């Protein structure tokens, strides 16, 4: 009986996106000039998923640019939640299998305000036009128009490219991320004095997973970018 259960679990996990896709994401992001410094997967064999599902996983990939206060947090969340509901309530709707979506968050620290204003003046932009110039700076006050509705930027973000094995093309996603970032890279500070990292672990989708997450996360590399990360259970200081 135990062997049957293990076999069934293995079959369910095979419904998730394979490792090749995440390898393609890393390669595409590397072509855009970003370095992967941490990758952590949490699935429902580690912790309970927040809704009913027989298979679920959160894969977090964290990228940086050397000597810049920027962390790009990319999280791909998958589950067969809809299928499990169909099974529980005997719904007649068509089975959709595993659905997944990307969540993209930019953690960034711009140069001190006085430095930004001095740079604007060097570019011949003076006080009356500062607001317009800063409003046009990607990720400073606005979401990049280049990405549009495909990836929503902020603290909790997602794209609309759902569906079994229907994940967005790695090269396209990396390009959409790279375009606005390289427009602001010279405006970024060199490191973070501190950074709230509460959202790094999938604490909402996998409650209680913080300790597991930080055991698998390369905290040494994080502290090379952030002097004082804070705000998450399980993060050793």
| Strand, helix or coil for residue 86 | helix
pLDDT tier at 156 (50, 70, 90 boundaries)?
very low
Which pLDDT tens digit goes with each residue over 99-113? 888 888 899 999 999
Residue 99: per-residue pLDDT = 83
Residue identified by tokens 């595993």 is 98
Using the predicted structure, report yes or no on whether residue 199 has a pLDDT greater than 50.
Answer: yes
- What average pLDDT does this structure show over 119-147? 81
Q: Contact at 8 Å (CB) between 205 and 49? A: yes
Distance CA 109, CA 140 (A): 9
Using the predicted structure, report yes or no on whether residue 231 has a pLDDT greater than 90.
Answer: yes
Query: Which tokens hold the place of 189?
Result: 């500070």
Using the predicted structure, report yes or no on whether residue 163 has a pLDDT greater than 70.
Answer: no
DSSP assignments along 194-212, one per residue: EEE-TTSS-TTTSTT-HHH
Instruction: Find which of 10-14, 118-122, 157-161 is predicted with most confidence, using mean pLDDT.
Output: 118-122
Distance CA 74, CA 104 (A): 5
Q: How large a percentage of the chain has pLDDT more than 70?
A: 77
Q: Contact at 8 Å (CB) between 207 and 48? A: yes
- What average pLDDT does this structure show over 190-213? 95
Using the predicted structure, report yes or no on whether residue 70 has a pLDDT greater than 70.
Answer: yes
* Number of neighbouring beta carbons within 10 Å of residue 81: 19
Domain ranges of the chain: 2-224
pTM (2 d.p.): 0.82
* Number of neighbouring beta carbons within 10 Å of residue 202: 27
In the predicted model, what is the mean pLDDT of the chain?
81
pLDDT tier at 151 (50, 70, 90 boundaries)?
very low
- What average pLDDT does this structure show over 156-164? 32
pLDDT tier at 155 (50, 70, 90 boundaries)?
very low
Using the predicted structure, report yes or no on whether residue 17 has a pLDDT greater than 60.
Answer: yes
Distance CA 226, CA 195 (A): 7
Residue 63: per-residue pLDDT = 98
| Angle (CA) 77 67 141, round 5° | 60
Query: Which tokens hold the place of 186?
Result: 């010279």
Task: Please give the DSSP secondary-structure letter assigned to residue 127.
Answer: G
Q: Contact at 8 Å (CB) between 57 and 42? A: yes
pLDDT tier at 1 (50, 70, 90 boundaries)?
very low
């Amino acid at each position: 009986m135990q062997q049957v259960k293990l076999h069934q679990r293995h079959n369910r996990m095979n419904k998730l996106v394979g490792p090749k896709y995440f390898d393609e994401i890393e390669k595409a992001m590397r072509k855009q000039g970003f370095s992967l410094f941490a990758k952590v997967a949490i699935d429902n064999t580690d912790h309970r998923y927040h809704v009913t599902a027989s298979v679920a996983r959160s894969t977090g990939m964290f990228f940086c640019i050397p000597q810049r206060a920027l962390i790009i947090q990319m999280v791909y969340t998958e589950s067969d939640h809809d299928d499990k509901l169909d099974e529980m309530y005997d719904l007649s709707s068509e089975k959709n299998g595993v659905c997944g979506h990307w969540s993209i968050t930019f953690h960034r620290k711009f140069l001190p305000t006085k430095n930004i204003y001095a740079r604007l003046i060097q570019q011949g932009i003076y006080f009356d036009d500062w607001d317009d110039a800063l409003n046009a700076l990607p990720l400073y006050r606005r979401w990049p128009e280049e990405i549009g509705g495909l990836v929503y930027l902020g603290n909790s973000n997602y794209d609309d490219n759902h569906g079994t094995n229907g994940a967005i093309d790695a090269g396209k996603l990396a390009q959409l991320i790279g375009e606005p970032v390289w427009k602001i890279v010279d405006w970024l500070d060199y490191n973070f004095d501190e950074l709230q990292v509460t959202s790094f672990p999938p604490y909402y989708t996998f409650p209680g997973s913080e300790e597991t997450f930080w055991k698998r996360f390369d905290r040494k590399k994080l502290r090379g970018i952030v002097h004082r990360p804070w705000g998450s259970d399980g993060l050793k200081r």
